[in-house]
Chains A and B, each alone.
Chain A
Amino acid sequence: VPLVTYIEDDGSRHPVEVADGDSVMQGAVNNMVAGIVGECGGGLACATCHCYVDADWIDKIEPPSETEREMLESTSSPRQTGSRLSCQISVGAALDGLVVRLPATQF
């Protein structure tokens, strides 16, 4: 099972086994990882599952769609290099070991 490590803004690390095919957002929400809200359930409608993909992993993930890029302009915390909406990152074997950092707030 792919392992994803979520690092909260205060430095807390949460290594989580995420089911193959689930999104990074689902992996956080289903395992009570604070810092990801996912208010709309993954519909690209709320921008509350914002995360920063670690530099080593950015190129290993499909680039964001036009809609995701638009939504990334609406996030509460600043958009930075590696900014993604975690509901749009599907976890599979290729992302085993993925590290994402979480913003200070989603609202």
Chain B
Amino acid sequence: MESPQASAAAARTFEIPPHVPAELVRSIGLTDGPEFLAAPHVFMADLHNNQPRIFYNTSQHMPGSWLLTNYDDAYFVLRHPEIFTTAGATPFPRDPNNYFYFIPLEIDPPDHRKYRAILDPMLSPKSIALLEGKIRDMANGLIDQFIAKGECEFTKDFGRPLPVLVFLDLMGLPHHMLDTFVGWAMGLLHAQDRKIAETSMREACAYLATVIKEKAQQPDDGVISKIVHGAARRRGDDRPGDFRLHLLSVHRRPRHGVRDAQQHLPVAGRKSRTAARKSSIRRTTSTPSSKSCCGSTR
């Protein structure tokens, strides 16, 4: 945990609303502090002991937010969209004159369900299970590129490209976009620079606008094409035509639309998947009982 002095210094650089009690203002270095980076599992577990049930976060990641450390409290928040909202919950920069929400993450119920109903069949446990063979092939392909060396830089050589390749396949996008998508994701999530993040977002938007046009003319089995063509529209919707039109009317800058859904897709799951993969391999290689199955890693 950061020292009280460090917390106070962080708080000074961030305007704390007057209603926030001073004793609940904390800067804990969530996701970027040295203690988190050194041992994320321990860091998260210790939050229960070292922090109050609710505190006001001034860390670099999502400053100005209330953080909950108790399961029951978090469960209550998640189950009461009439009180709490996810609008604006993602930290990605957007043009205020052309603002859009990330779908479905930033859409509260009941509209949330409409978009989930489109995406769920394509991303459900059943659908993803069908991809297992293909994902294994991709993993083997990546391993083949460094197996002769006997070592790898795990994040760069495996942890980062695998989820991007899976994502590209799922979306119906070409594998040669791998490095470009990795660059956008890094710019949006890790550059810690607003201009870089804005440039990444702008470029991703422009690319996806082009892809949407292409998929409209040349349908395929990818998720983007299915959304564009409304093939997976909500079953039983009494206004399927309107619903599909709503999804496709990107040129009218709708509040929620197909572009919005796909704006989230360039980063969807890839940060968390990459982080999960890194964390799991780190834990595996640093736990004596698990090491024997890993061989030599770097």
Contacts and interface: CB of A to CB of B under 8 A. Distances in A.
Interface of A: 41-48, 66-67, 70-71, 73-76, 106-107
Contact of B125 (A43, A48, A66): A48
Contact of A106 (B75, B116, B125, B235): B125
A41 B125 contact: no
B79 interface: yes
Contacts of B129: 76, 107
Interface residues of B, number: 17
Nearest to B120: A74
Interface of B: 75, 78-79, 113, 116-117, 120-121, 124-129, 234-236
* Overall SS of chain A's interface: loop
Contacts of A73: 121, 124, 126
A66 B79 CA distance: 19
Contacts of B120: 45, 47, 70-71, 74
A70 B113 CA distance: 11
* Overall SS of chain B's interface: helix
B124 A47 contact: yes
A50 to B, nearest CB: 8
A70 B125 contact: no
Nearest to B122: A74
Contact of A70 (B75, B78, B117, B128): B117
B238 to A, nearest CB: 12
A70 B126 contact: no
Contact of A107 (B79, B116, B125, B235): B125
A75 B126 contact: yes
A39 to B, nearest CB: 9
Nearest to B104: A45
